Structure 1
Amino acid sequence: MCPNPILLSVSEGCPKAVLTLQPAWSQIFSGETVTLSCEVEGDSAGWRFKQYRDGREEAGCSDLYRRRNGDSCTISKARHSHSGVYWCESASGQERSNAVNLTVSYGRVILQTPPQPVFEGDSLTLRCLIRDGYKAARVIFYKYNRELQSRADTELSVDRVSKSDEGFYKCKAWWWWNSSPYSSDSAEVRVSVRGRFILTERVLTPFSVCNVSQIHSHWSLFQLC
């Protein structure tokens, strides 16, 4: 029997590798260039890029338009086939980085977001872009098809993200070409907001661990006696 069980400690293990995008947007136009970098803690030998697309897993840096340089993979002239979920993993496949979803669009307008999820308290910027660098005369941002704001600025910023900011967003842009007005909607993009865990600890002397429960692949629940 454990007298006075006191401590509840929840922590999330840090990945040994972190995958980042440069530019740091998850949505790009076809024909653009993006670089995926795998930052590995310790020796990166044997780590490889992987992609999940159309229901199957495949090598993520292995075609005519993808070139590997050390711990980075640069995709030039991106195509729809480059869309998918990317990560990097160890040679054994037992260790993986975070996953990043990259979308390559053939549309006229895209709504760009940072890689998901974003964390509560962080800042968030959504950017509405027109293909070929056309300047928007007007932009409307929507959440669940309800208008949020109409403005000439192509960015929508949230200083401190909360769970209430989670949802599906899109934008509509107007621009001029050869003295004629054009407009187009972006595809909807989901913004996912994750809460932050706070590590709390109370130390008793002497103490021992009565029970350890695995509640997530990286999280453990400890009960102290």
Structure 2
Amino acid sequence: MEGTSVHRLLALIFLLSRSTNQVHLTVSPSRSQFFQYESVTLICEDENRSDGWTVRRNTSRGTRTECKDGWGKLNGSVCNMNYMQPSDSGVYWCESRSGSSSSSSIQLSVSGGSVILQSPVLPVMEGDDVTLSCRARNPTHNLPAAFYKDGSFIGDGSSGHMTLLHVSSSDEGLYKCNINVMEVISSSRISVKGQRSAASVSDLNTFSPILN
């Protein structure tokens, strides 16, 4: 019995050691919002540089579907998505082949509109700076940009960018931008989770094919 208990303890320690910190999902280009028909590469990276991971997602079209299930091309632990559609908006993560371990999830949104609000795809720490970029599908329309938080104007960005300095809980809210008369189609919500904890920037309407 004692030997069995030891084996169970060792097995538990092994499972606990397979933490989500061993792998993370990298997005290239590194942003959370994309225009329709753009391409993105999702890379599962772990400290052992193994290929034992796959990319999965939850969207309006399916739950826990795997890259290669009709929406991407999987090469090792790299998933390439081309000609993305608004229905590709959703939550993405890396998962081991056995399904016993996974990374933290990220949210990506795809807009069919003329303007998107770009924000960091990876979590930032409280106290760090967060840069928001208002981007038009037509590059000649990129400047200038006006930024809003919870419906209230917070400032102009002559270069199309606005930086939130030393983010804290007071920066939580729903952000939008516009360029000239073109209103942003998708919005980004910033949430800050406690002192020195991760502040994530995620899309408000992840599963909606048409983001408002």
**Structure 1 Cα separation of the partners of residues 129 and 77 of structure 2:** 28
Superposed counterparts of 1:62-211, under 5 Å? 62=68, 66-115=72-121, 117-174=123-180, 182-195=181-194
Q: Deviations over 1:115-148 (max 9, x none)?
A: 2543202221111011132333431100000000
**Residue 196 of structure 1: how far off its partner (Å):** 5.1
Give the unaligned 5+ runs of structure 2.
1-18, 198-212
Q: Residue in 1 aligned with 2:15? A: none
**Structure 1 Cα separation of the partners of residues 166 and 48 of structure 2:** 33
2:40, 2:81 within 8 Å by CA — same for their partners in 1? Answer: yes
1:159 aligned partner, one-letter code: L
**Structure 2 Cα separation of the partners of residues 51 and 14 of structure 1:** 16
**Residue 88 of structure 1: how far off its partner (Å):** 0.8
TM-score w.r.t. length of structure 1: 0.71
**Residue 73 of structure 1: how far off its partner (Å):** 1.2
1:167, 1:192 within 8 Å by CA — same for their partners in 2? Answer: yes
Q: Residue in 2 aligned with 1:26? A: 32
Point out the more displaced range, 19-28 or 62-71.
62-71
Q: Residue in 2 aligned with 1:57? A: 63
**Structure 1 Cα separation of the partners of residues 170 and 84 of structure 2:** 33
1:117, 1:191 within 8 Å by CA — same for their partners in 2? Answer: no
- Work out which structure has the larger RCO, using CA pairs closer than 8 Å and 6 or more positions apart in sequence: 1
**Residue 28 of structure 1: how far off its partner (Å):** 0.5
Q: CA RMSD in A?
A: 2.3
Q: Deviations over 1:99-124 (max 9, x none)?
A: 01010100111111112543202221
2:141, 2:179 within 8 Å by CA — same for their partners in 1? Answer: no
Q: Which structure's residues are more often helix, by fraction?
A: 2
**Structure 2 Cα separation of the partners of residues 161 and 50 of structure 1:** 30
2:150 aligned partner, one-letter code: Y
**Structure 2 Cα separation of the partners of residues 123 and 72 of structure 1:** 29
**Structure 2 Cα separation of the partners of residues 56 and 65 of structure 1:** 11
Cα distance change on mapping 1:133 and 1:64 into 2, 3 Å: farther
**Structure 1 Cα separation of the partners of residues 43 and 91 of structure 2:** 14
Identity fraction in percent:
37
